[in-house]
A and B are shown apart, each in its own frame.
Chain A
Amino acid sequence: MPTTTYAGKEVDVDAEGFFTDPAQWSDDMAPEIARQEGIAELSDRHLQVIKFMRSEYEEKGTGPTVRVLGKTSGVSIKELYELFPKGPAKIAAKIAGIPKPRGCI
């Protein structure tokens, strides 16, 4: 299994770079992962989405899709794509240290 280093700690990731063990994540890793994904600086709105991804994952065992994010995170679909142009659910999941959300809608 591939590993990578964030905030000086080694973590397990899958082939696409998603955490395979979300317990290895800590919030000081988020800015570094974000930069790697092309987001130079995380705003409060980014962090709101990332926090939401974590709590959804902890509650349901899977990350939310963009549709669920748009309905329940308090951030609209339009804004989600402005914050994470390369795919809100996918990129926010990566920064939040959870596996890639699975869902077709």
Chain B
Amino acid sequence: MSETARPEPIEKVSIIISKGSLEGVYPGLIMANGARAEGMEANLFFTFFGLDAIHRERHEHIKLATVGNPGLHFATLLGGLPGVSAVMTHYMSQKMAKLDIPSVPEFIEMIADTGAGLYACKASVDLFGLEKNDFIPQVQDIITVGEFYEKAAGGEIIFT
């Protein structure tokens, strides 16, 4: 490929994390961390149940969804039994630890240290009756959708 045919590199990403399950949270974290590692500017926006990932008390307890998750390849009926989600989460976390993938709290702290911005969505914060104090200190601000678009200006937006 000639030099002129090369597409422009991505310089900035804004990643939205909207789900509160283990498999819903990690992809966005990995993409944000990877963007910073490539020298891109990165912002993370947590909305709806994704807010659990930055919630002081809940971020240590992000669980794998064992119901309504066909990718797990076992019966939904079994997935709904008490304790199954906890056991599967534990199993998955151990596998991830072996690959040196950090836990959610450690990963988010690391991403904040890379200089990425962490924001909570105002509509969801209001909906759940939360306030700034409910979040880990790395969260910079609670912002509106309009402010999100301002921050995302000039970059790519990724919704997860």
Contacts and interface: CB of A to CB of B under 8 A. Distances in A.
Interface in B19-67: 30, 33-34, 36-39
7 contacts: A67-B102, A67-B110, A87-B37, A87-B39, A90-B37, A91-B39, A105-B100
B114 interface: yes
Contact of B39 (A68, A78, A86, A104): A86
B153 interface: no
B33 A87 contact: no
Interface string A88-101: 11110000000000
A76 B30 CA distance: 19
Interface string B99-131: 111100000001001110000000000000000
A77 B37 contact: no
Interface residues of A, number: 18
- Report whether over half of chain A's contact residues are helix, strand or loop; otherwise say mixed: helix
Interface of B: 30, 33-34, 36-39, 99-102, 110, 113-115
A25 B7 CA distance: 30
B113 A89 contact: no
Residue from B30, B37, B38, B101 with most neighbouring chain A CB atoms (10 Å): B37
A78 B102 contact: no
Contacts of A76: 113
Given A105-B33, A105-B102, A66 B38 contact: no
A14 B52 CA distance: 42
Most chain B CB within a 10 A radius of its CB, from A65, A68, A86, A104? A104
Given A77-B110, A105-B30, A87 B38 contact: yes
A81 B36 contact: yes
